Amino acid sequence: MNALVMFLADAATQPAPNSVPPPWWANPQSLIFPIIIGLLFFMILSSSRTKKNEQKARDALLAGMKRGDRVITIGGIMGNIVEVRDNEVVLKVDESSNTKIRFSRDAIKRVVKDDETSSS
Residues 41 and 82 in one domain: no
33 in any annotated domain = yes
Residues 93, 103 contacting (CB under 8 angstroms): no
31 in any annotated domain = yes
State the pLDDT at residue 33. 84
Residues 78 and 111 in one domain: yes
Number of domains in the chain: 2
Could you report the per-residue pLDDT of 57-76, keeping only the tens digit for each?
999 988 888 999 999 999 99
Alpha-carbon torsion angle 56, 62, 63, 64, nearest 10: 110
Total residue count of the chain as it appears in this document: 120
Cα-trace Rg, the chain: 34
Give me the amino acid identity at 3. A
**pLDDT higher at 17 or 56:** 56
State the pLDDT at residue 117. 55
43 in any annotated domain = yes
119: pLDDT strictly greater than 70: no
CATH code of the domain containing 72: 2.30.30
Could you report the per-residue pLDDT of 8-49, keeping only the tens digit for each?
667 666 666 677 777 766 777 777 888 899 999 999 988 888
**pLDDT higher at 119 or 64:** 64
**Cα separation, 116 vs 93, whole angstroms:** 17
Q: What is the mean pLDDT of residues 92-113?
A: 91
Is this structure's pTM higher than 0.85?
no
- Domain carrying residue 56: 24-61
Residues 52 and 86 in one domain: no
